Amino acid sequence: MVVISDILVQGMQMLLVFVLAPLLTGFIRKVKARLLRRRGPSVLQPYRDLLRLLRKEVVLADNASWLFRATPYVTFAAIWVAAALVPTFATGLLFNWAADLIVIVALLGTARFFLALAGMDVGTSFGGIGASREVMIAALAEPAMLLIVFCVALVAGSTELSTVANFIASSQTGLRVSLGMAMIALVIVALAENARIPVDNPSTHLELTMVHEAMILEYSGRHLAMIEFGAFLKLLLYVSLIVCLFFPWGIAIFGAGPLAYVAGAAIYVLKVGFAGFLLALFETATAKMRVFRVPQFLGAALMLGLLGTLLLFVSTSL
Amino acid sequence: MHNLNFDISHSLAGGLVLISFMMLYQDRLYSLLNVFALHALTLSLAVAWQAYIQNAPHLYVTAAIALVFKAIIIPVALHRIIKQLGIHRDIETAVGIGPTMLAGMGLVALSLALMLRVTAEADALAREDLAFALSVVLLGLLVMVTRRNAVSQVVGFMALENGLVLAATGAKGMPLVVEISVAFSILIAFIVIGIFLFRIRERFDSVDVGALDDSRGERR
């Protein structure tokens, strides 16, 4: 009986991220449009786009290998699993014993690896450019991400997300400058990884600047739908990671009963909405930077992570 | 051990190290000056917090000196100097930002490893302050080393001195007379450097210190 309810709650969590991910993207687009005094498409537009793409025929290049066809499903699956591991409305869910931060980084790395391979598979020049830029960004974002993981793990004494969330929600954390640095670094990494504005702009097709869009230029139909959905999920994943690591207040403790779960879910949706609003505000206020400035931007994240870890080392060794 | 007093002073000192890194990151003169003003502001907050928890009222005077001279007068004066010299459009050709940052991280790690080992018997608050103060000093030196423009070398010098003040407040029992004399000697040094800046500018039509080497007949 307990097992069944565990599976149910975990299933609800997976369903929640599945349903919420396109909504978040639609919401961000809507807020951005309103900030620019345009009306913007409906909040539900991403769902319609996905449905439309799913109905369309797949056009494949003659020389596309099995890798090109398998990649959309692999990336989507890896990202969805990673998103299911992050505690959203409750800690201590069924899969949370596996919700190690390093596992999540590895899953996202797998998804990116396949996407970069598929970008080069058909042999067009845009795919190659996109893949090489994506790998350049990843090579800098991943060490920064790992340093953030180390920093958080040193504070909480574990890399397991629900333990970390419980620890930070409790009052014994105190005031930590390292956590603030880690949070800023994680925001920078999230912006870079999700191809958001200062690093990349997925809504344009300008060949000088595109990174993510160049890799998936050859995809169509349901393959494109899978990749787009993966991108929506990845954005939600990073937002919930930030929320879970640094603002875990209001999250339900495991076994607290359905009412606490509903309250936790409501608070979670509010937090995600607020984060989406902040992201839209930030994106309308900044301009996209040159590709060759990106290493400096990510270097700042790396430095913040390293400095946070060093500061933490000082305060814990005293 | 982990009470709020310690955490706040840790955050302020850590913030000072972070702002030193921001100083390394800047490549325009005006933004460098703004970051320097922020550095001094954080320093005065850190010193005032030390005065509060050590119950040492004379440290409030130090905080006030840091606030008035370093956070207001010197940045404003440097702004005016830059404007008069007409170098406000200059973008520094420093050693690349990436290697500088890496060197800075190495210096911070070095100073932490050194200070935490040397001061094993001291009070935790003083140890932590001394470790961060040494890294602020070293980062100020790094700013001086990696910049070619004389104005930003002055900023590096002032940042270095901020680190000294942080160290002095962390160690209990620094008399007020010493602090005031240090503060005024810094101010005098600033005035002298300011005059030299104009002289260098008159002589070489730039404030790039590389020109001095050329004038001495040295090869770069």
pLDDT, tens digit, for every residue of A118-166? 999 988 888 898 899 999 999 999 999 999 999 999 888 888 888 888 8
pLDDT, greater one: A109 or A99: A109
pLDDT score, position A210: 79
Domain segments of chain B: what residues?
Answer: 1-200
Of A173-177, A271-275, B65-69, B147-151, least confident by mean pLDDT is A173-177
With an 8 Å Cβ cutoff, are A315 and B127 in contact?
no
Cα A101 from Cα A189, distance rounded (Å): 14
Cα A190 from Cα A217, distance rounded (Å): 23
Compute the nearest-CA separation of A174 from chain B (Å): 7
* Chain A: residue whose CA lies nearest to B16: A177
Cα A44 from Cα B49, distance rounded (Å): 51
pLDDT score, position A158: 86
Calculate ∠ Cα B139-B141-B147, nearest 5°.
100
With an 8 Å Cβ cutoff, are B112 and A314 in contact?
yes
With an 8 Å Cβ cutoff, are B7 and A176 in contact?
yes
Q: State the DSSP string of B14-74.
A: HHHHHHHHHHHH--BHHHHHHHHHHHHHHHHHHHHHHHHHHT-THHHHHHHHIIIIIIIIH
In chain A, residues with a C-beta closer than 8 Å to the C-beta of B8 are: 175
Compute the nearest-CA separation of A312 from chain B (Å): 10
With an 8 Å Cβ cutoff, are A315 and B18 in contact?
no
Compute the nearest-CA separation of B196 from chain A (Å): 34
**Nearest Cα residue to A149 out of A305, A17, A28, A314:** A305
> Which residues are CB-neighbours of A255 under 8 A, at least 6 positions away?
A92
pLDDT for B80-121, tens place per residue? Answer: 888 888 777 766 666 777 788 889 989 999 998 888 888 877
Minimal Cβ distance to B112: which of A295, A299, A310? A310
B210 at interface of A, judged by CB pairs closer than 8 A: no
pLDDT for A64-105, tens place per residue? Answer: 899 999 999 999 999 999 998 888 888 877 777 777 889 999
Compute the nearest-CA separation of B153 from chain A (Å): 23
B15 at interface of A, judged by CB pairs closer than 8 A: yes
Compute the nearest-CA separation of A182 from chain B (Å): 12
* Chain A: residue whose CA lies nearest to B119: A318
Cα A117 from Cα A128, distance rounded (Å): 9
* Chain A: residue whose CA lies nearest to B112: A314
* Chain A: residue whose CA lies nearest to B124: A318
Q: What is the mean pLDDT of residues B132-148?
A: 90
Instruction: Give the three-class secondary structure for B102.
Output: helix
pLDDT for B55-64, tens place per residue? Answer: 888 888 888 8
Q: What is the mean pLDDT of residues B28-42?
A: 91
pLDDT band per the 50, 70, 90 thresholds, residue A110? very high
B128 at interface of A, judged by CB pairs closer than 8 A: yes
B105 at interface of A, judged by CB pairs closer than 8 A: yes
pLDDT for A233-254, tens place per residue? Answer: 999 999 999 998 898 888 887 7
pLDDT score, position B1: 46
Cα B102 from Cα B196, distance rounded (Å): 32
Minimal Cβ distance to A177: which of B14, B109, B127? B14
Predicted interface score ipTM higher than 0.90: no
Helix axes B176-204, B74-85, angle to 10 degrees: 0
pLDDT band per the 50, 70, 90 thresholds, residue B41? very high
- Which candidate in B10, B110, B121, B132 is best for mutational testing of the A interface (most A CBs within 10 A)? B10
Considering chain B, what percentage of its residues have pLDDT values greater than 70?
94
Compute the nearest-CA separation of B125 from chain A (Å): 9
pLDDT score, position B93: 60
